[in-house]
């Protein structure tokens, strides 16, 4: 109902009487008034006058009612420990494919390889619960899918040259703007769920000392509309889910890659690989050519661009 009221007020751009809202939405005027009051509690400014209601301003919060059609699937938190933990609980409890947990800030945001992910207000932090009918060998391709979806959104909405660093960072001018964390629950031959966590430095402050990180705000010199960005990434993810086992996804990743053809150092548990990144295979693993011409494959790890 809140979403429908917002739509009606935005479409009009002017005063809309309680009576016409209640007729259009098939509910009582008291119920309209209650929902408007809830919108105000969420941070919307709605003027109420004898002429009716008029929407004066909307907060840039990722509230479910801003995403028509997805309201029932989005769980929104002003603050949370980590959306990954909430997603795991919900997934274990059986929530449906496509459930989204989004937070305005996280107190214990998690990154890959047990690193911390700073999550102040202004960023975009969410986890999508996916239940793909794929073999676990395709699971690393989730990272490719998510990074391609984010980079494509950044390019399309802002014209910035977003590129991909293997396995799953999104960079702008060589600095990280988005990180992706995938956690899987599976048997050897069947995936139960994969939780895909995405953190984007949108309008969040990134310390100038942090030379390896950047934000969309820093790159553009202005704040971005987080709602528009979130909506777009969800759409791009949706479109690519069918490609999960197809070669097109790998080709798309390659076309956006900042890692291929560079000298890299891969640090993985118990091993280090140095050489030129020459390709990724169909499972998303990086193929590295050593000085002696030998080829080695990295399935996971930290990737450092040396050139």
Contact 300, 268 (CB under 8 A): yes
Residue placing its CB nearer to ligand BTN in the complex, 197 or 301: 197
Query: Could you give the 3-state DSSP secondary structure of residue 194?
Result: strand
Residue 175 belongs to what H/E stretch?
Answer: strand 175-187
Residue 179 belongs to what H/E stretch?
Answer: strand 175-187
Tally DSSP H helices, then E strands, for the chain. 8, 14
Residue placing its CB nearer to ligand BTN in the complex, 112 or 226: 112
Residue placing its CB nearer to ligand BTN in the complex, 163 or 169: 169
Q: How far is Cα of residue 110 from the mean position of the Cα atoms in its chain?
A: 14
Residue placing its CB nearer to ligand BTN in the complex, 83 or 203: 83
Write down the least CB distance from residue 108 to ligand BTN, Å. Answer: 7
Strands (E), 42-157: 45-49, 52-57, 74-77, 99-103, 124-130
Q: d(Cα 174, Cα 171) in Å, to the nearest integer?
A: 5
Residue placing its CB nearer to ligand BTN in the complex, 106 or 215: 106
Write down the least CB distance from residue 127 to ligand BTN, Å. Answer: 5
Residue 130's nearest CA partner among 192, 222, 39, 212 is 192
Q: d(Cα 38, Cα 34) in Å, to the nearest integer?
A: 6
Closest residue to ligand BTN in the complex (CB)? 179
Residue placing its CB nearer to ligand BTN in the complex, 149 or 198: 198
Write down the least CB distance from residue 102 to ligand BTN, Å. Answer: 9
Write down the least CB distance from residue 111 to ligand BTN, Å. Answer: 3
Write down the least CB distance from residue 169 to ligand BTN, Å. Answer: 6
Write down the least CB distance from residue 51 to ligand BTN, Å. Answer: 43
Q: What separation in angstroms does the CA of 22 have from each of 15, 52, 152, 246?
A: 14, 12, 40, 48
Residue 243 belongs to what H/E stretch?
Answer: none
The contact set with ligand BTN (CB under 6 A) reads 82-84, 106, 109-112, 115, 117, 125-127, 169, 179-181, 197-199
Write down the least CB distance from residue 3 to ligand BTN, Å. Answer: 24
Residue placing its CB nearer to ligand BTN in the complex, 109 or 122: 109
Q: What is the DSSP letter of 14?
A: S
């Amino acid at each position: 109902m809140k979403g429908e009221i917002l739509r009606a007020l935005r479409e009009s751009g002017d005063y809309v009487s309680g009576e016409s809202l209640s007729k259009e939405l098939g509910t009582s005027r008291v119920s309209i008034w209650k929902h408007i009051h809830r919108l105000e509690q969420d941070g919307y400014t709605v003027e109420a006058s004898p002429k009716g209601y008029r929407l004066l301003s909307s907060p840039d919060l990722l509230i479910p009612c801003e995403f028509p059609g997805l309201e029932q699937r989005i769980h929104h938190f002003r603050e949370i420990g980590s959306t990954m933990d909430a997603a795991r609980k919900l997934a274990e409890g059986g929530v449906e494919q496509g459930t989204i947990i989004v937070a305005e800030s996280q107190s214990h945001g998690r990154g890959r390889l047990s690193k911390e992910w700073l999550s102040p207000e202004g960023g975009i932090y969410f986890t999508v619960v996916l239940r793909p009918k794929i073999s676990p060998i395709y699971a690393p391709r989730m990272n490719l899918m998510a990074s391609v979806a984010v980079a494509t959104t950044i390019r399309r909405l802002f014209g910035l040259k977003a590129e991909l660093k293997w396995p799953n960072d999104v960079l702008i001018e060589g600095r990280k703007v988005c990180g992706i964390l995938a956690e899987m629950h599976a048997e050897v031959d069947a995936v139960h769920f994969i939780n895909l966590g995405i953190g984007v430095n949108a309008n969040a402050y990134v310390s100038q000392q942090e030379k390896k990180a950047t934000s969309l705000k820093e790159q553009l010199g202005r704040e971005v509309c987080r709602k528009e960005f979130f909506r777009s990434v969800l759409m791009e993810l949706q479109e690519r889910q069918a490609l999960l086992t197809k070669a097109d996804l790998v080709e798309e990743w390659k076309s956006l890659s900042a890692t291929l053809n560079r000298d890299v150092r891969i640090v993985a548990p118990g091993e280090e690989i140095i050489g030129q990144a020459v390709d990724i295979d169909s499972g998303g693993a990086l193929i590295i050519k050593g000085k002696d011409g030998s080829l080695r494959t990295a399935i996971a790890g930290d990737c450092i661009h040396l050139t």
